[in-house]
Structure 1
Amino acid sequence: MIVRKATIQDAKGIGKVHVDSWRTTYKHIVPAEYLSKLSYEQRTQLWTQQLADKTKYVLVAENELGDIIGFTSASKRDSNPTPNSNYLETLYLLEDYHGKGIGKQLLKAIFHYFHEKNYQTIFVEVLAKNKTRHFYEHYGANLIKSLEITIGGKVVEELVYEWHDIEETLEKRM
């Protein structure tokens, strides 16, 4: 398994992981109808645009066959609430690869990017009923607020976490 910087050619593989991981992770959290309407083509198009955007930083994890099995991305938002901050926008992994340390490798790799860029604060938004929120808590993310968002016509709770010390997170938690 390797983690590497994504290229535009990875859009299709990222799109597939995005759809498949949403369908397993958010089953029973967001409406089934919404999940069934997710399409590989639409997500491939989305990731083609994301990968062309130079303000985004995207990494992929590949298995031994070279198939993309996970990805993570970061971006600076216009609405960043704190100076010198960034967002961990995504971290998705196919369900068959959960519990094998791949998520940790993706998180560590993106935190090295944050450290290189001298970001001081990192934010991540996670649905409250998403069990993987405990993954972020384990690696030192602190809950700062809760808000309601609507996905597929259903109101769900979203939690916002932050990390304040990138270097300490890398040294002591990963």
Structure 2
Amino acid sequence: MISIQPARLEDLEGVGRVHVEAWRHAYAGLVPSSFLDRMDPKVSAERFRRRLADPRQAFWVAVAGARVIGFASGGPNRVEEFDADAEIYTLYVSPSWHRQGVGRRLVAQLADEFQQRGHQSVVVVTFRDNPWRRFYERLGGTVIGEKTFDIDGVVLPEVVYRWSDVGDLRVRER
């Protein structure tokens, strides 16, 4: 059985592991291998510790048994050039749990929290060549723009998806 729950300090080791697994799986051949090879679950866990401590951010984990299998975080929109109240910062699911509804459930939980915090609209930024980006389209996201992100000197194109009504994002999960 999978449960979705607020992230806790004791979840961070699993969050770091899932983060590295997901990046290496999804972005091999896209993100420079020099970067992927350097990724360390402990470093990722420490980075997410700061997120957990920020009260403006929502941070949820998916747990199967006692093992973290996915996580999502979000909060106020940081992409100023794109109009939205909230932003999904991260959404990662362990590759062995893909296509089992974990991502949808995590996004739905974020959408509920965004609504509770009074947010009306949501954006998410993802690599244009992310093999999993169609997930956002299936949830009703509309591409509203592009940006770039530099990793180890390689400039990667990104796309920005938007939902004008966070409630629409929640309804599509059901």
Q: Does TM, normalized by the shorter one, top 0.5?
A: yes
User: Which runs of no fewer than 5 residues in structure 2 stay unpaired?
Assistant: none
* Runs of 4 or more consecutive aligned structure 1 residues displaced over 2 Å after TM superposition: 77-84, 168-174
Cross-structure match for 1:30: 31
Gap change, CA 1:8 and 1:80, over 3 Å in 2: farther
Mapped contact 1:140–1:173 kept (Cα < 8 A): no
Distance 2:127 2:82 in 1: 22
SS of match in other structure, 2:69? strand
Distance 1:83 1:56 in 2: 18
Aligned length: 173
Cross-structure match for 1:39: 40
CA offset at residue 77 of structure 1? Answer: 4.3
User: Which runs of no fewer than 5 residues in structure 1 stay unpaired?
Assistant: none
TM-score under structure 1 normalisation? 0.92
Cross-structure match for 2:4: 3
Kindly provide the CA deviation profile for residues 53-81 of structure 1, in whole angstroms up to 9, marking residues without a partner as x: 21211000011x21000000002145545
Cross-structure match for 1:141: 141
Q: CA RMSD for the aligned pairs?
A: 1.7
Listed as ranges, the matches of 1:16-165 within 5 Å are 16-63=17-64, 65-77=65-77, 80-81=80-81, 85-165=85-165
Distance 1:13 1:100 in 2: 19
TM-score under structure 2 normalisation? 0.92
Distance 1:88 1:99 in 2: 19
